[in-house]
Amino acid sequence: MSKNIDNSNQETLIKFPCDFFIKVIGVMNENFTQSIITEIYNIDQSFDATKVDIQSSQHGKYISLTCKVFVTSKSQLDLIYSKLSSHPDTKFVI
């Protein structure tokens, strides 16, 4: 017998509001960084794109973006993860 589990009210150890670091790893292309920044900014207009830490992989195939985002709720954080994960060039969102 399977049960439907509703995670929308699931408790979290994170105390909101807070600054939260999100790492996005994706395929290196000319639009990836700007696309990720735009996705975050569309959800959080206070997002400061100048403080994104950008590192490319040793052979330049992948790029890693560490983004400091001010999140006000679990649902907002979940939305950000969902949007970033759905980008076609995203490999991981941590």
CA distances from 14 to 9, 18, 19, 36, 71 (A): 14, 8, 10, 23, 10
Amino acid at 78: D
Its domain, for residue 88, covers 27-93
Considering the domain boundaries, does residue 79 fall inside one?
Answer: yes
pLDDT on residue 5:
41
Q: For residue 77, tell me if it sits in a domain.
A: yes
Q: In the prediction, which pLDDT does 4 show?
A: 43
- In tens, the pLDDT along 6-58 reads 444 557 799 999 999 999 999 999 999 999 999 999 999 999 999 999 999 99
- Nearest partner of 20 among 79, 91, 86, judged by Cα: 79
Residue 10, domain member (yes or no): no
Number of structural domains (the chain) is: 1
Q: Is residue 19 part of a domain?
A: no
Spatial separation of the C-alpha atoms in residues 51 and 74, rounded to whole Å = 23
pTM of model > 0.75 = yes
Does residue 3 belong to any structural domain of this protein?
Answer: no
DSSP 15: -
Q: In the predicted model, is pLDDT for residue 90 greater than 70?
A: yes
Tokens representing 7?
């995670």
Confirm whether 11 is domain-assigned.
no
- For residue 47, the Cα-to-chain-centroid distance in whole angstroms is 12
